[in-house]
Amino acid sequence: MINEHMSNERTFLSWIRTGIGIMVFGFVIVKFSLFVNQLPASFFKDSTIPKNGFTIFLGIALVFTGAITILLSYWKYKQTHSLLQKGEYLYSTMLLTMLTVFIFVMSIIIISYLIMAAYPLTFPID
C-alpha cells in the first residue's frame, strides 16, 4: 500500500516539474520578445521594427498552461490519494489526455508562428 502512495507522490512531483518547465518557457518567450523589441531602438535611432504582441500572448498562455498543470496535478494527486485510502483506485488518463492535447496545440501554434516569422508572406504590388 505504501508503494502506491509513494508512486502517487512521485507522479505529482513530476507534474509539478512539468508545470514549472512550461511556465519558465512561457516566461522566456515573453522576456525574449520584449528584449528583441527594445534591441533595435538602442542601436539604431530611426529604426522601425514592427511590434508583434502575439509572442507576448503566447508566452502568457504558456505560463497560464503551466499554472493550470500544477493545479490539475494537485487535484489529481488528492483524488488518487483518496481513492488509494479507500482501496478503490481506478486508473484514468483523462487529465493526461487533456494536457497533452492542449500542450500539443500550443506547440503547433508556436511552430506556425516561427514559420510565419521566418518566411513572411509578401505580395507583389502591381
SS3 per residue for the chain: CHHHHHHHHHHHHHHHHHHHHHHHHHHHHHHHHHHHHHHHHHHCCCCCCCCCCHHHHHHHHHHHHHHHHHHHHHHHHHHHHHHHHHCCCCCCCHHHHHHHHHHHHHHHHHHHHHHHHHCCCCCCCC
The predicted pLDDT at position 103 comes to 83
Query: In the predicted model, is pLDDT for residue 46 greater than 60?
Result: no
- Mean pLDDT along residues 88-115: 83
The predicted pLDDT at position 42 comes to 57
